[in-house]
Amino acid sequence: MDPLSAAFAACSLARVAVLGENTAEQRRRKADACGRYAMLKGQPSIADQE
């Protein structure tokens, strides 16, 4: 799996985890994972758009 696909998968999984367990730790993980994906993609963070 290429790094962009891996980062997208991590972001998606983190977003689902927040839906199931909306804790500060889960939100931080989502921000980290989605921020990394956005950085690789070169666009604003998905987490910032929510």
1-50 tens-digit pLDDT: 889 999 999 999 999 999 999 999 999 999 999 999 999 998 655 555 54
Cα 13 to its chain centre, rounded Å, is 8
Sorted by where each begins, the domain ranges of the chain are 3-49
pLDDT at 12: 96
Give the torsion through C-alpha atoms of 27, 49, 34, 19, to 10 deg.
Answer: 40
- In 3D, which of 14, 20, 18, 50 has the Cα closest to residue 34? 14
Is 47 strand, coil or helix? Answer: helix
pLDDT at 1: 82
How would you class 30 by CB atoms within 10 Å of its CB: exposed for 0-12, middle for 13-18, buried for 19 or more?
buried
